[in-house]
Chains A and B, each alone.
Chain A
Amino acid sequence: MRGGRARDALVLLALALYAAPFFWQALTSVRPDAELLPLTQLWPSRLTWAHYDVVVRQSLMPRALVNSLGIALLSTLLAVSVGALAAYALARLPVRGRGVILLGMIAATAFPQIATVSPLYLLMRALGLRDTWLALVLANGSFALPLVIWLLAGFIREIPRALEEAAAVDGADRLAILRWVVLPLVAPGMASAALLAFLFSWNEFLFAYSFTATEASRTVPVALALFPGVFEVPWGDIAAASLLASLPPILIVVVFQRYLVRGLLAGALRE
């Protein structure tokens, strides 16, 4: 029973200050060009939508947003569908070498991307997949897969065995149990895993930068990093593009916070 409303408000204010860099970027995105450099006053004299106009109409961001969305959705689908099956097998079925495989999964979550990017680059090149969605779907999906499997295996293990045994007694075979008993119960966990996988794919930069060349497959982080400026860096436009790039993450944090938190906690608390 510590403090009161005042203390709570203070903490909220402190956290709002913590997020201030983001709010500053949002303000920058509506600040007129003339007042960007040099900075003379905190609040702009007027607000402008010009930067968003440039980003939406003249930059590659709209196409990049489409690319990112498609790639993120597909790689999430890949990771979660393949991962759910594998997680069930590892969590519930007497697979030989289960412990080793699970350990391998955990080790795989620690793989540095910089180590696998050169072989993957050669692989994508050999398969003619450079500058395609498929390359990134595969790369992102496979990179998120170990974490998804680890998370889902943990969630599945939390389901009481009694429920599955009851269904077995009723005459259901393994697959039916998986489909009708386990999956519905682990659905929230799958949502959490899917959110993490989506977020990872949306934010992913290294693979996207290395495997893409044109706007056919350029994702949002790459488009932002390569934002064109002919004479000087267009900070206002970049801020606007940054805000657009942040929409899905913001959405996830605000609307799906519960699932996101659950996913993060499960990943770390399960040791």
Chain B
Amino acid sequence: MAPRPTRAAAAGLLLPLVLALLAGACRERPVAGAPITLVFKHAKILGPADPVPGLLRRFEADHPGVRVQSEALTWSSDEQHQFYVINLEGGSPPFDVMMLDVIWVPEFARAGWILDLTPSVPAAERAAHFPTAMEPAVQGGRLWALPWFMNVGLLYYRADLLAKYGFRPPETYDELAEQVRRIRAGEHDPRLDGYLWQGKQYEGGMVNVLEALWANGARLLDDRGRPFPEPDRAREALAFLRGLIESGVSPGWVTAADEELTRRPFGDGRAIFLRSWPYALDLFELPDSRVRGKVGVAPLPRLRHGPVGAASTGGAHLAVSARTRHPALAVELARFLTSETAQRAMTEGAALRPSRPALYRDPVLVARDPSLPALHALMLRGHPRPITPYYLMLSTTLQPEFSAVLVGRKSPERAMRDATAQLEHLLRAVEPALSTPR
């Protein structure tokens, strides 16, 4: 009696498992003697042309026997992060060089997922990038990633409309609101929106809120990592953002808008001001753009207690996976892609801005893009979001609270109170205290 039921039971259990194992085992196996393949994981490059394939071919030409396979990430930053975490956390990730949002570098370094680049990158190379780009890449005195391209928040404005009414670009938000009122009163166009920005509940929304806080001289965290060290100014800044919507200076839908959803209306001529990143400028200057030649760029205005141009920097860095099988080659690829030649090619081909200040004064590049010197000044004034391995955790915890203020569901006081409670709970888990907050 005993053998047959166990056999039946075992068959019932093992058969599907065996099939599944076979299915799972059908993965590619590397062939001995084949060229070395490096996998480069990056997000799709926005803009007129994609310079990356050309650069990769150049690297392959300089390194015979090496192939570089380019793999695209999804568009959403949150999904990219989830992809990286799931792959890096599990062991051997199938890529060698990866493009990281600058805010993830401390996190990935702390988690031990990326290679220490300090021995491979000389100090001169490090000094060739913007300090605000290098700051997040350096943790514990070691270098973990190289800046690839740089971003800074800025104010786009319709130069033609402002000139028509005799306005200069606003230096305070009060001025901005007033200019919006007067222009809209004069234009009699009900479809002309005032000030567009990104208020959706995602990292971009967080950036907008941080910029408002900084514009009022408030920080998110103090040096010990405690939230809202200047509560009154923070409250004012949050109330200001909500006020933009309530007063109609900004349309209600900005609370669900990201970069692209705000770029398009401005590019169609349906808004006076836009807060966005430099990439939009290239798209506004395309031959078939309705606002071609009519767009100006200025530093972000200030609120009562803060400075002008308190913009967030951003951008992407290149890092090497700690588990790569070809560390030396991968580091070389990263260094090549962030070199002056490569960044020059990227600036020419795509809507990207380099992380090397020298390129902003290069005559050839400036001739193609006269806005570079202005952007250079803006980049110098911007500062990074809080540099801590826990930044993403902070951000995703705070986003709903800020979103509630923007949408009018919570008062700034309540949101700040709830946010503080949530942050304290989070920080209890991740002691010790944070480093270099803003």
Name A residues whose Cβ lies closer than 8 Å to a Cβ of B.
Answer: 70, 74-75, 77-78, 81-82, 84-85, 125, 128, 130-134, 137-138, 141, 173, 175, 213-214, 216, 226, 228-232
* 10 interchain residue pairs of minimum CB distance: A213-B86, A78-B16, A81-B12, A77-B16, A132-B24, A134-B20, A137-B20, A130-B90, A133-B24, A134-B24
The number of chain B residues touching the other chain, given as a range, is: 20 to 34
Binary interface encoding of chain B residues 26-39 relative to chain A, with 1 for a CB under 8 A from any of its CBs, else 0: 01000000000000
Within the complex, the shortest CB–CB distance from A257 to chain B, in Å, comes to 27
Interchain CA distance A74-B23 in the complex, whole Å: 10
- Is A232 within 8 A of B90, CB to CB? no
Looking at the assembled complex, report how far the CB atom of A179 sits from the nearest CB atom of chain B, in whole angstroms: 8
Task: Give bound CA distance, A74 to B19, whole Å.
Answer: 8
16 A-B pairs whose Cβ atoms sit less than 8 Å apart in the complex: A70-B23, A74-B23, A75-B16, A77-B15, A81-B16, A82-B12, A85-B12, A125-B90, A134-B20, A134-B23, A134-B24, A141-B16, A175-B4, A216-B27, A228-B75, A232-B264
Does the CB pair A133–B15 fall under 8 Å?
no
- Are A213 and B87 closer than 8 Å at their CB atoms? yes
Which residues of the other chain, A, contact B87 by a CB distance below 8 angstroms?
131, 213-214
- State which of B11, B16, B44 has its C-beta within 8 Å of the C-beta of A230: B44
B1-53 at interface with A (beta carbon < 8 Å):
1, 4-5, 8-9, 11-13, 15-17, 19-21, 23-24, 27, 44, 46
Distance A78 CA – B5 CA, assembled complex (angstroms): 17
Q: Is the CB of B23 within 8 A of A229?
A: no
Say if the beta carbon of B89 comes within 8 Å of chain A: yes
Assembled-state Cα–Cα distance A77/B16 (Å): 6
Instruction: Let me know if A125 and B89 touch, CB within 8 A.
Output: yes
Partner of A131, one of B9, B12, B90: B90
Q: How far is the CB of B83 from chain A (nearest CB, A)?
A: 6
Contacts of A230 in B (CB 8 A): 44, 46, 75
A85 to B86, Cβ gap below 8 A? no
Closest to B73 in A: A228
**Minimum distance in angstroms from A108 CB to a CB of chain B:** 18
Whether a CB of chain A sits under 8 angstroms from the CB of B79 is yes
Q: Answer yes or no: B260 CB below 8 A from chain A CBs.
A: yes
**A81 contacts B27, C-beta separation under 8 Å:** no
Provide the residues of chain A in CB contact with B118, threshold 8 Å: none
Bound Cα distance from A75 to B19, whole angstroms: 11
Tell me the bound Cα distance from A216 to B93 in angstroms.
13
Residues of B within 8 A of A84 (CB): 12
Q: Is B120 located at the chain interface by the 8 A CB criterion?
A: no
Any A CB within 8 A of the CB of B64: no
B396: interface (CB < 8 Å): no
A131 proximity list for chain B (CB < 8 A): 86-87, 90
Beta-carbon contact of B75 and A229 below 8 Å? yes
Asked if B74 is at the interface of the complex by the 8 Å CB criterion, the answer is yes
- Contacts A85-B12, A213-B86, A214-B83 known; 17 new A-B pairs at CB < 8 A: A74-B19, A74-B23, A78-B17, A81-B12, A82-B13, A85-B8, A133-B20, A133-B23, A137-B17, A213-B83, A213-B87, A216-B27, A229-B75, A230-B44, A230-B46, A230-B75, A232-B260
Which residues of A have CB within 8 Å of B186? Answer: none
Does B119 sit within 8 A of A, measured CB to CB?
A: no
Neighbouring B residues of A226 by C-beta, 8 Å: 74, 79
Bound CA span A229–B1, Å: 61
* Chain A residues, CB < 8 A from B75: 228-230
Q: How far is the CA of A132 from the CA of B22 in the complex (A)?
A: 11
> Residue on A with the closest CB to B93?
A213
What are the residues of chain B within 8 A of A128 when measuring CB–CB?
Answer: 90-91
Between B1, B86, B260, the greatest number of chain A beta carbons within 10 A of the residue's beta carbon is seen for: B86
